[in-house]
Amino acid sequence: MLIGASAARHWGWELLRVPGTVTVAVRHHRRASTPKRVRIVLRPLPEEEIAEGIVTTRLRTVLDCSVLLPFEEALAVADSALRFGSLDHDDLIAGARRSRGPGRRAKLRVATLADGNAANPFESALRVRCLDAGLGVDCQVPIRVGRHRFRVDLADSTRRIVVEGDSFAHHASPEAFARDCIRYTELTVAGWTVLRMPYRAVVDDPDWCRAMLQAAVDRADRGETGHRAGL
């Protein structure tokens, strides 16, 4: 039975990190050779939490990932499940509340913070870094500046901080570069603090991200963000 990240891949959801092994749950582990890149775990599953005879249900998959994966990876799975319309957010929260055992807190945390507006796993991970730094961010926020209406990855509207996840793949063309320059310049002139976070730093250097984001929070809370302007 596919579980965890392997089940999430089966359902077609996007992952922050693709696992190098396939995780399979069995009720009874027979002493036999295990295929390479297959991880066997002993885990009885009730029939109502099994789908298609080979994988955990969508709800059970998200709840399992909340316990089996690091928080940013689990949130990326939950965000993706909501984004693809595989789960209803209220059903996910209800499922987490019904759960029992030591993983219940992790399940509730992921279920409560999951947001189908997150554009991709990178943005989910960046949101975790923002939350760790004390930013109250929303996903895919529209901001009107003059005659332009921009949609930014993440924004703390109270502190007027925009956090953008920048990857070379999506910002390398001359046209994308020009659009980015116009957007960041107009937002900054309008009184927003704009932070650009590269993929590698977000995924591989969370301490640096947290330090930069926390510095921006401290600066904003001291009132050093420039003049205020309407959304």
The larger pLDDT score, comparing residue 208 to residue 171, is at 208
Classify residue 227: in a domain, yes or no: no
Q: At residue 88, does pLDDT exceed 70?
A: yes
Q: At residue 230, does pLDDT exceed 60?
A: no
> Residue 227's pLDDT is what?
45
How confident is the model over 91-143, as pLDDT tens digits?
999 999 999 998 999 999 999 999 999 999 999 999 999 999 999 999 999 99
The whole-model pTM stands at 0.89
130 neighbors 163 (Cβ within 8 angstroms) = yes
Note whether 99 and 175 are same-domain residues.
Answer: no
Classify residue 230: in a domain, yes or no: no
Which ranges in 33-135 belong to alpha helices (H)?
58-68, 71-83, 89-98, 104-113, 121-132
> Residue 223's pLDDT is what?
87
User: To the nearest whole number, what is the mean pLDDT of the chain?
Assistant: 91
> Residue 34's pLDDT is what?
65
Classify residue 229: in a domain, yes or no: no
> Residue 43's pLDDT is what?
81
> Residue 29's pLDDT is what?
61
Note whether 96 and 196 are same-domain residues.
Answer: no
**pLDDT class for 171, splitting at 50, 70, 90?**
low
Domain of residue 18: give its range. 4-113
> Residue 115's pLDDT is what?
98
Classify residue 228: in a domain, yes or no: no
> Residue 177's pLDDT is what?
82
For the chain, the domain total comes to 2
> Residue 197's pLDDT is what?
96
Which ranges in 120-198 belong to alpha helices (H)?
121-132, 168-171, 174-189
Report the distance separating Cα 180 and Cα 62, nearest Å.
34
> Residue 32's pLDDT is what?
56
